[in-house]
Amino acid sequence: MALSDATKDILTFGAHSRVEDKRAELLDLQQKLSEALTERDAAIAQTNQAIEQLIAVKTQAIGTLGGIKSISKQLRAAERNPSENSIATLPVPQLSRLETLISDGEIMTHARAGVAAGASLAMGTWALGGGAGLAGAGAALGASAAGLTTVGGGALVAGGAAAGAFALGSLVLLPAAAILAIFSHNSADKKISEIETEIGKALIVFEESRGVLLTVNNLGRRVREISEAITKTNLVFENEKEKCLRRIYPLGGLSRALKAIRRFFGGNYFSKRDLDTLLPLLNMARILADLIDQKILDAKGNVV
Amino acid sequence: MSAVSKIGKLGDLAKKIPVPDVLKFFNNLVDAYKEGQVTEREIAKINAHKEVMLAEISGKYETYRLVFNRIFDERKEVIDRFFDVIDKGVASNDKQIILDGLEGLSRIVSASPFANTEQLSRLLESGKALEI
């Protein structure tokens, strides 16, 4: 015959009640946990927006850089002609890098056009991984997408990754092993054991949610920082590019034709004055390219 | 349930028990009391552990949050200063000033704010005082 709660309470001098009260106290922890998860999800949504913004900013900057493709083409042609020594001072090796970056960016922009809503995983990879880290960051983003259901967070990139799997290096607030070691079912009492298990699990989720919140907030700030720097640099570069092009091609198409004729007769396409004008612009292009290429996630999904 | 009514119920319960078993009943009662005491101590211990761990998680989270906020705030100040340099260069149409500003901006942005996370983590674990 099952004993009533009152009888159990009498026989154990109130211990049964105290265990039940303790179980009810767990609800306080659940409330704390629920608030932490809500805060984490809000941070993930904000960081998603920041990444969308970064993708837009990078795409725009790639478009601006694309405007110097024709100049780059002429300079690279000159590079192949050893007699044109006047461009030796220009950072010509940077040109191939610029062209690759523009090309990658254009491919990504076209890829985005094929995605119905939001940014694709590929775009997120491109925006966060930087040129050099594309493959590794792609894997990390893919792994994060797989982790979406386990952390219950929102998508970091729409149709793409969850923030839960990202990390700030070795930063851990409290190792899960340490929590489990404490709440490791030492009690002979089944109810106490159950409570221990529940508290242990809740604490692990709480720790994880705080860690994710920290990571995602920092990722968001880093993304916004880079977005602002690219936006500013892109604006300056675009203005300087317009001035520079007006100076090099004052007569538009006619100036281009005259330069082509000069080259046809064995002269340099760009004059010394043109090259002096181009040098600062190419340096600005290099800086803009560095910012566009800035890696935010490494191959392991660490925020760097 | 009040203590008086609890004792009353206990009396009612005792009446239903055969006399030879009364001694065994009270022995069981003493055991139950001891077990209750053990349970109470276990509950208190669990509660203490829970509170300590919550405090540790929340405390570390708050410390890291403050440290990173400080790092990002400082970077923002430096970035804003480079923005000013760039604006001055644009206003005076001085390409060298613009380039200097852009180089500085690129330098600060390419330096990771998380480069010293591991050191920071070790410092926090060591329990040494942290100046931010």
Asked whether the beta carbons of residue A226 and residue B106 sit closer than 8 angstroms, the reply is: no
Nearest residue to A35 via CA among B69, B48, B58, B63:
B58
Which carries the bigger pLDDT value, residue B57 or residue B102?
A: B102
DSSP structural state of residue A2: P
pLDDT tens for each residue of A221-275: 999 999 999 999 999 999 999 999 999 999 988 998 998 898 888 887 888 888 8
Rg of chain B over all Cα atoms, to the nearest angstrom: 34
Nearest chain A CA: its distance from B72 CA (Å):
8
Which residues lie below 8 Å from residue B129, measured CB to CB, with a gap of 6+? Answer: none
Contact A232 B86 (CB under 8 A): yes
Instruction: For residue A195, give the nearest of B37, B46, B53 by CB distance.
Output: B46
Q: What is the DSSP letter of A302?
A: B
The residue-averaged pLDDT of B78-94 equals 96
Q: Which helix (H) or strand (E) holds B105?
A: helix B95-110
Q: Rounded to the nearest 10 degrees, what angle do helices B22-91 and B117-126 cross at? A: 140
ipTM: 0.76
- Cβ distance B61 to A13 less than 8 Å, yes or no, reads no
Question: With an 8 Å Cβ cutoff, is A39 touching chain B?
Answer: no
Average pLDDT over residues A213-226: 90
Per-residue CA distances from A131 to A55, A108, A126, A287, B108 (Å): 14, 11, 7, 14, 19
Give the tens place of pLDDT for each residue, A50-101.
Answer: 888 888 898 899 888 887 777 777 776 655 454 444 445 545 445 666 666 6
Tell if the CB–CB gap between B64 and A171 is shorter than 8 Å: yes
- Other CB atoms within 10 A of residue A53 CB: 16
B113 touches chain A (CB under 8 A): yes
CA A33 to chain centre: 27
Q: Are A109 and A59 in contact (CB under 8 A)?
A: yes
3-state secondary structure of A297: strand
- The three state secondary structure string of B53-92 is HHHHHHHHHHHHHHHHHHHHHHHHHHHHHHHHHHHHHHHC
Q: What pLDDT, on the 0 to 100 scale, is given for residue B114? A: 86
Give the model's pLDDT for residue A231: 97
Backbone angles phi, psi at A303, to 5 degrees: -75, 125
How many beta carbons lie within 10 A of that of residue B73, not counting itself? 10
Q: What are phi and psi of A162, to 5 degrees?
A: -100, 150
Confidence band for A1, pLDDT divided at 50, 70 and 90: very low
Reduce the secondary structure of B32-46 to three states and give it as a string. HHHHHHHHHHHHHHH
* Residue, of A44 and B7, whose pLDDT is higher: A44
Which of A7, A187, A303 comes nearest B42 by C-beta? A187
CB contact under 8 A, A13 and B65: no
| pLDDT at residue A266 in the model | 81
pLDDT at A118 over 70: no
Q: How far is it, in rounded angstroms, from Cα A145 to Cα A210?
A: 19
Judge residue A280's burial from the number of C-beta atoms within 10 Å of its C-beta, 0-12 exposed, 13-18 middle, 19 or more buried. middle
The residue written with tokens 């690219």 in the block is A230
**Structure confidence at residue A165 as a pLDDT band (50, 70, 90):** very low
Across the range B60-81, mean pLDDT stands at 93
Count chain A–chain B contacts defined by CB atoms under 8 A.
156
What are the backbone angles phi and psi of residue A167, rounded to the nearest 5°? -145, 155
Which three-class secondary structure state does DSSP give residue A131?
Answer: coil
Q: Which residue has the higher pLDDT, A94 or A140?
A: A94
3-state SS assignment for residue A267: coil
Poorest-pLDDT segment among A53-67, A118-132, B90-104: A118-132
Report field, pTM of the whole predicted structure over 0.90: no
Query: Any residues with CB less than 8 A from the CB of A47 and at least 6 apart, and which?
Result: A156, A163, A216, A217, A219, A220, A223
Q: Give the rounded distance of the alpha carbon of A207 from its chain centre.
A: 23
The distance in angstroms from the start CA to the end CA of chain B is 55
Q: Does B48 touch chain A (CB under 8 A)?
A: no
Give A-chain residues touching B61 at CB under 8 angstroms: 173, 210-211, 213-214
Among A25-39, A76-90, A162-176, B27-41, the least confident range = A76-90
Rounded to a whole number of angstroms, the distance from the CA of B131 to the nearest CA of chain A is 19
Rounded Cα distance, B87 and B98, in Å: 8
Strand partners, A155: A162
Q: What is the pLDDT of residue A121?
A: 55
Mean pLDDT for all residues in chain A? 71
Three-state DSSP class for residue A142: helix
Residue B59: phi, psi to the nearest 5? -65, -45
Q: Is B96 on the interface with A (CB under 8 A)?
A: yes
- pLDDT, greater one: B6 or A264: A264
> Which of A26-35, A36-45, A125-134 has the highest mean predicted lDDT (pLDDT)?
A36-45
Reading the block at residue A292, the tokens are 């566009």
Of B42, B65, B96, which has the smallest distance from its Cβ to A192's Cβ? B42
Q: What is the pLDDT of residue A224?
A: 95
d(CA B60, CA B66): 10
Distance separating alpha carbons of residues B64 and A218, to the nearest angstrom: 10
Q: Note whether B119 contacts A: Cβ–Cβ < 8 A.
A: no
